Structures are given as structure tokens and as C-alpha cells.
């Protein structure tokens, strides 16, 4: 049924009309003529009639109340994160990889959804698991509605579990764990016959613990967050030439940056089965021992290391003394120099740095 305006002479009449089908044809019949439209509008009778019928329409009642500002939102959820990053999660097949890692386990909650929730939260808020559990209600993340805080803790513990079949695979006292297996599976699915890690960008930072955290690898060390009073751990991240994360490593908080470079190179070769690696790192990774090891026949690794041009004796004596071997440029208002040694292609180290 619907309203229809019927004109007769100079006047318009409001009618209630019903459509029906007869012998395959659609027909209309007038159920009632309510009255002259101008009179109904002028006297407010039409508004009264509509509001009288509105109380029998649940959906329209809510819409009308919302338009009048008489409703209060019970819950508002954002849908953007799941639409964008949920699609990326599926494209990377992270859910499938996690399910493979969980084949021999029998959790009573959805571990894959718990990991997904914490990842989404860290992308937008970079907070703790407790903050992720509290902030879950603000976003529409399918499958996470019934998760509780202890589920998130157990999911993170699962990712950090040492792999029992490889107890000796350690790097700087950190065991090989489920997270490492997932990183390798992600790399494996985009590997082809000619896959190589031609260039690896590597850097470290520190993350400190609040409260009683850090019982296992938490140590006091040089804090990049300016909190030497708290225990911390060192995090190393390796990216490939295209910006894809290869792996991240966690070490005790008192680990010096210079000691992480060689173990990372060795582990990249072991984990991803690559031969040729060119490593890019900042000046915190430089030591005579490290450079000697990188240039050794055993390592045979290309590298690009940052250095202070005037303060590092080797650079000052070997580079600045021979101005035909470097090119000067400007980046972010600072003069920089790129220097390349005259070695063969497969053993070609590079130094780069800033002129102070």
C-alpha cells in the first residue's frame, strides 16, 4: 500500500491505494480517500495520522527518535581496520599459516583470532595486550567478540614457545620459537626458483618492561628510551629491498648492537637458505672485529655500514685522504659521502656516513 495524490479540478486529494495482481496484470484500487491535501497539511492532521501509525513501526520509530536527537548510541564500532588489514591478512595467508602451526595443539579458544586482535591493536595504538582487550569494542573485528585477556596472553606465549624439535638453534641465548617458524613460512610462500635476499636493512632498538616484566630476557642496559632504571630487551628487525619484513629477533637487554650483526647474517642464511646477502646497518654495528669477519672467506658478505666521516680514524685516513674515491651529496641539510672500495664484485664492502 502507498499514498497517492489525485487531482480533481483545482484541488488535490490524498488517497490510500493498494496494488494487487490479477490474471498476471498489476492493478490498483483506492482503499480510502483521506481528504484534501492542503487542508490536511494546514491543520496538522496529516502529521497526526502519520505519527499515530508510526507507533506500530519499530524501525521507523527508532529512525524518527534518532532524527529528533532522542537516542543515545550504545556502541560505536569502526570498520576500517578490518576492511583494509583483514584483506592483507588473508592475502598473506597468515591465518592459514597459524592454523598449520596449531595443528597439534588443542586450545579452547581461537588462537588465530587472538593474534589477529593484538596485531590490529598494535598497528593503530601500539599498546599492551591489556589495552588491546579493552580497545576491542571500538573496532569491528570478526571472531574476536568472545576473547578475554588471558586468551591474548596465552596466544603470545604460544608465539614465543621454543621449538622442541630444535632445542639447540639459538642466537645470542634466544631460542628458535614458533614465531621464527611463521616468519620462514611467510618467506617460503613468496619464494621462487630465483629468490635471493640481495639487500637486507637491519637495525635494533630497545623496549623496556613496566612492573615485574622481563624475568627471562629482561636486563638493564643502554636504554634508547632513556629509562635505564627499568629492565629492557633488544629488538632487531631485518627488512628486504622491497620493504618486506624478513624477521625480528629478541635479545637480552644488555646485548650490545655490535655483537648482533654477525649472528643475524648467519641466521638469515640458515633460516631462509640464501647464499648472497648484502647487509645495510648504521654506525652502531661497526667494529674492527665485525668488519674483518664480514670480509672473511667464511662469511663472504657484502655490507654497507654507516660511519662518522671525521671521527672514525679508518674512514678519515682512507677515505677523506683520497677525494677521488667518494662523491658528496646533501640529505636533510647534512653533507654525506658515499664511498666504494675497489674490490671485486662478490666481495665489495661500502662505507657511508656524515661529515661532521
Per residue in 323-344, pLDDT (tens digit) is 555 555 555 555 444 444 333 3
* Integer angstrom CA distances of residue 88 from 49, 85, 91, 193: 52, 5, 5, 24
User: Looking at residues 105-130, what average pLDDT do you find?
Assistant: 88
CATH for 194-306 is 3.90.350.10
135, pLDDT greater than 60: yes
Task: Please name every residue paired with 28 in a beta bridge, in sequence order, or none if there are none.
Answer: 19
Q: What are the two backbone dihedrals, phi and then psi, of residue 196, each rounded to the nearest 5 degrees?
A: -140, 150
User: Looking at residues 132-157, what average pLDDT do you find?
Assistant: 87
Domain ranges of the chain: 2-67, 80-159, 194-306, 309-356
User: Looking at residues 23-47, what average pLDDT do you find?
Assistant: 89
What integer pLDDT is reported at residue 355 of this predicted model? 37
Non-local CB neighbours of 152 within 8 Å, separated by 6+ positions: 114, 117, 118, 129, 132, 133
What integer pLDDT is reported at residue 343 of this predicted model? 35
What integer pLDDT is reported at residue 141 of this predicted model? 83
Task: Please name every residue paired with 302 in a beta bridge, in sequence order, or none if there are none.
Answer: 278
- Look at 139-148, 253-262, 283-292 and tell me which has the smallest mean pLDDT: 283-292
pLDDT tens, residue by residue, 237-271: 888 878 888 888 888 888 888 888 888 888 887 77
What integer pLDDT is reported at residue 51 of this predicted model? 78
118, pLDDT greater than 60: yes
What integer pLDDT is reported at residue 313 of this predicted model? 65
pLDDT band at 153 (very low <50, low <70, confident <90, very high): very high
pLDDT tens, residue by residue, 193-239: 666 667 788 888 888 888 877 787 889 998 888 888 999 998 988 88
What integer pLDDT is reported at residue 78 of this predicted model? 67
C-alpha cell at 249: 629477533
Residues 303 and 201: their CA atoms lie apart, in Å, by: 10
Non-local CB neighbours of 197 within 8 Å, separated by 6+ positions: 240, 246, 268, 272, 274, 276, 277
Residues 247 and 236: their CA atoms lie apart, in Å, by: 8
C-alpha cell at 28: 490498483
What integer pLDDT is reported at residue 350 of this predicted model? 45
Residues 252 and 247: their CA atoms lie apart, in Å, by: 17
- Look up the pTM and report it: 0.63
Residues 279 and 261: their CA atoms lie apart, in Å, by: 9
Amino acid at each position: 500500500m502507498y499514498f497517492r495524490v489525485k487531482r480533481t479540478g483545482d484541488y488535490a486529494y490524498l488517497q490510500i491505494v493498494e496494488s494487487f495482481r490479477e490474471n498476471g496484470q498489476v492493478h490498483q484500487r483506492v482503499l480510502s480517500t483521506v481528504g484534501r491535501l492542503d487542508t490536511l497539511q494546514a491543520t496538522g492532521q496529516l502529521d497526526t495520522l502519520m505519527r499515530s501509525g508510526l507507533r506500530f513501526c519499530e524501525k521507523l520509530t527508532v529512525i524518527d527518535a534518532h532524527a529528533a536527537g532522542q537516542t543515545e548510541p550504545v556502541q560505536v564500532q569502526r570498520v576500517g581496520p578490518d576492511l583494509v588489514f583483514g584483506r592483507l591478512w588473508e592475502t598473506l595467508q597468515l591465518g592459514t599459516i597459524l592454523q598449520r602451526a596449531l595443528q597439534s595443539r588443542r586450545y579452547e579458544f581461537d588462537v588465530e583470532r587472538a593474534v589477529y586482535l593484538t596485531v590490529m591493536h598494535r598497528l593503530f595504538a601500539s599498546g599492551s595486550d591489556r589495552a588491546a582487550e579493552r580497545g576491542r569494542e571500538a573496532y569491528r573485528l570478526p571472531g574476536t567478540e568472545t576473547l578475554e585477556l588471558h586468551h591474548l596472553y596465552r596466544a603470545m606465549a604460544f608465539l614465543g614457545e621454543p621449538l622442541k624439535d630444535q632445542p639447540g638453534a639459538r642466537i645470542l641465548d634466544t631460542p628458535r620459537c614458533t614465531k621464527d617458524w611463521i616468519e620462514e613460512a611467510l618467506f617460503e610462500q613468496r619464494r621462487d626458483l630465483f629468490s635471493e635476499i640481495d639487500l637486507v636493512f637491519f637495525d635494533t632498538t630497545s623496549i623496556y618492561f613496566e612492573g615485574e616484566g622481563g624475568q627471562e630476557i629482561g636486563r638493564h642496559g643502554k636504554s634508547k628510551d632513556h629509562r635505564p632504571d627499568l629492565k629492557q630487551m633488544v629488538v632487531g628487525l631485518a627488512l628486504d629491498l622491497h620493504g618486506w619484513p624478513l624477521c625480528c629477533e629478541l635479545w637480552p637487554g644488555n646485548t650490545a648492537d655490535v655483537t648482533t650483526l654477525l649472528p643475524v647474517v648467519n641466521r638469515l642464511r640458515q633460516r631462509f637458505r640464501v647464499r648472497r646477502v648484502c647487509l645495510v646497518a648504521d654506525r652502531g654495528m661497526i667494529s674492527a672485529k665485525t668488519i674483518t669477519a664480514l670480509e672473511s672467506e667464511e662469511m663472504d658478505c657484502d655490507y654497507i655500514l654507516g660511519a662518522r666521516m671525521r671521527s672514525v680514524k679508518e674512514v678519515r685516513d682512507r677515505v677523506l685522504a683520497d677525494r677521488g674515491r667518494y662523491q658528496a651529496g646533501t640529505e636533510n641539510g647534512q653533507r654525506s659521502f658515499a664511498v666504494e672500495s675497489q674490490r671485486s664484485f662478490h666481495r665489495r664492502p661500502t662505507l657511508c656516513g656524515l661529515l661532521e
